[in-house]
Structures are given as C-alpha cells and as structure tokens.
Amino acid sequence: MSAITIRNLSGETHRALKARAAAHGRSTEAEVRAILDEATAGGERLGTLLASIGAESGGVDFPVERDRTPREPLDLT
C-alpha cells in the first residue's frame, strides 16, 4: 500500500481534520484517507453531467449542421 507525507500543514487545518475525524468516529489518518478516496472517486464526468442538465431542462431544439465549406489554405510565407 502506498504512503504519502504532507508537509507544512497549518495547525488550523490539522485541528479541523482532527475535529472532523472525531465527528465521524475515526482516526485523523482514516479521515484523511476517506477524504482522499471521496475526492478521487470516479464520479460523474462533465459531459454526462451537462447531458443530464440538458435533459432535465427539456433539452434544446436547434439544427446542428457542420459547415463543410472548404477553407483557404494557411499562407505561411
């Protein structure tokens, strides 16, 4: 199992982590582990989230057509 060390953690942050751990009935180390696990969980991705927001709002109804007009080549001279 991997381990990390976090240096220069402020006293205020450490106290807040200890208080949060106590509120959840676990050690400070277990609390930090839970926070990191939650932060890195494979939650809903941005595209899925945007699609669900669009579906909830009734969606959008406009034609989407690709512009197939040829472009002028870029002049690099």
pLDDT in tens, the chain (77 residues): 889 999 999 999 999 999 999 999 999 999 999 999 988 887 778 888 888 888 888 877 777 788 899 999 999 98
**Residue 28: predicted pLDDT:** 96
Distance CA 41, CA 34 (A): 10
| C-beta of residue 1 within 8 angstroms of C-beta of residue 12 | no
**Residue 25: predicted pLDDT:** 97
Q: Which domains occur in the chain, in start order?
A: 11-53 (1.10.1220.10)
**Residue 5: predicted pLDDT:** 93
**Residue 76: predicted pLDDT:** 92
